[in-house]
Amino acid sequence: MESQLTQIAANRCFGGWHKRFRHRSAVLDCDMVFAVYLPPQAESGAKSGKVPVFYWLSGLTCTDENFMQKAGAMRMAAELGIAIVAPDTSPRGPDVPGDPDGAWDFGLGAGFYVNATREPWAKHYRMHDYVVRELPELVEAELPVTDRRSIAGHSMGGHGALVCALRNPGRYRAVSAFAPIGNPASVPWGEKAFERFFGTDYAAWLEWDSCALLGRATEKLPILVDQGDADSFLEKQLKPENLQRAAEAAGHPLTLRMQPGYDHSYFFIASFIDDHLRHHAAALLKD
């Protein structure tokens, strides 16, 4: 069978390979690019030849490239024997609508990892289904990985990771987030995106809000969250205290670590990514 993936870049790194692929997404109705890091353990001739996957969802304005180039995650992934898959943050292409005012916090680069129900967004903005179903099926069919998955992300991607895990029990073995938009239905970034994607029905918004989803979660994967206390978005957009209260009310295990002096940047992510990879490896590599 002909491959659905077109390789567009490859770089040797820590004994493994960082690669970028392009493919046609039926879910998003556009071409998409994603990045993957395959550790040395995925090389032909290794003990199993296949490794579990840590999915990373990036934040507003990012692409697949930001995390791979800035987070410093590949050294630890190589040590642990875990692949990393980093999708884009939204659908792309000339037929995909962006923010009508050209703003950076909605549309292209800002898909919020939801399935939109309002036009003109509903045709393309189905990032949840893409991340949870289409992309893993493609990756598992064409690359040397297993169906053992975990998921993490930053900011908008932290929101996406939490929602993907909470809405899909049994799909992931671990979940974590850096500075997630944990209560998007109650902050400006989320309000703007959700009104456009879903209209004014607040109940529809709550289907994509981690604080609401925690209260009805049937699976209680332990959640690790790191948040910098010098993050300029902390009080207005992120509100980790809301996420903590929701987890406590639901009896859901959540470790929220406030990191003194850290901001919202990749300097922050790079400082603690090893902890997160170890958190995921404990579940992914467990027999």
By the 8 A CB rule, do 176 and 152 touch? yes
Q: For residue range 163-213, list pLDDT tens digits in order.
A: 999 999 999 999 999 999 999 999 999 999 999 999 999 999 999 999 999
Rounded Cα gap, residues 68 and 145, in angstroms: 18
Does the predicted TM-score (pTM) go above 0.85? yes
Longest dimension (CA), the chain: 55
Q: Is 210 left (phi over 0), alpha (psi -120 to 50) or beta?
A: alpha
Average pLDDT value for residue range 4-22: 97
Q: Is the pLDDT of residue 47 over 80?
A: no
Q: Considering Cα of 184, then 189, then 191, then 194, what sign does the dihedral take?
A: negative
Average pLDDT value for residue range 245-269: 98
CB atoms within 10 A of CB 281: 21
pLDDT at residue 45, as a whole number: 47
- Two tokens at 68? 């791979």
pLDDT at residue 49, as a whole number: 77
Average pLDDT value for residue range 99-120: 96
**Catalytic residue numbers?**
155, 231, 264
Buried b (16+ CB within 10 A) or exposed e, 51-63: bbbbbbbbbbebb
- Two tokens at 175? 């979940």
pLDDT at residue 1, as a whole number: 52
Rounded Cα gap, residues 224 and 282, in angstroms: 13
- H-assigned helices in 44-187: 65-70, 74-80, 127-129, 135-142, 156-167
Residue extents of the structural domains in the chain: 6-267
β-bridge mates for residue 175, sequence order: 151, 223
CATH 3.40.50.1820 fits 6-267, yes or no: yes
- Across all residues in the chain, what is the average pLDDT? 96
- H-assigned helices in the chain: 65-70, 74-80, 127-129, 135-142, 156-167, 188-198, 202-206, 210-214, 240-250, 266-284
CB atoms within 10 A of CB 261: 8
